[in-house]
Amino acid sequence: MSESSQTEIVIAPVGFEHLRQVLDLGYRVFDTTVKPYTSWSLTAVAEHLDSGDSACWVALDGAKVVGFVLGSQTFELRDDWGYLEWIAVDPAYQGRGIAGRLVNACCEALFAGGASRVVTDVESSNSASATLMSRNGFAPAVTVTLFVRSSQPDEEPGRAVRGVSKRPLIRSGRLLGDHRNP
């Protein structure tokens, strides 16, 4: 990797002008058919932009979004933990250190905003993301297995769940802080 290929890419805060490109890149790189809890959508992106915290960044090649990271200042009911929720880099730009730069920008913003920890989740078969997180100071802490029961008794147990009709998983309660004001 040449020095010039590293410096051409600018890491900048996400703005509304990046919304369409971030959404499109996410749809290109995330497989939303495998995990029924995956909720990549316009709402997922917009809630991050509307949250007011500055843990969302884009990697720009000129005006083109070639990567992004979306983080939030709260994780579940923990006000002191940040959450690195979404990260993607255009496959044509992978291998240039962009993802690591995005992870660091997000974590630095979350720590500066008061987070004592930053949490992320990586699907068990995603070795590239697991390696990225390990290289950037994350360590495995908890393993959660999604158990699925089919309505079809003769269906093979453990088969990948594809084509699942998903209900919207809206994070507004977490982002807006409803849990703090009962």
CA proximity to 94, closest of 29, 180, 33: 29
- Tokens 């051409």 correspond to what residue? 8
Q: Residue type for 12, please? A: A
Q: Are 120 and 140 in contact (CB under 8 A)?
A: no
Per-residue pLDDT at 36: 53
Cα–Cα distance for residue pair 172/41, rounded to 1 Å: 14
DSSP string, 51-94: S--S-EEEEEETTEEEEEEEEES-BTTBTTEEEEEEEEE-GGGT
pLDDT tens for the 182 residues of the chain, in order:
444 444 599 999 999 999 999 999 999 998 877 765 568 889 989 888 887 766 999 999 999 999 999 999 888 777 788 999 999 999 999 999 999 999 999 999 999 999 999 999 888 788 899 999 999 999 988 777 767 777 877 776 555 555 444 433 334 433 333 332 33
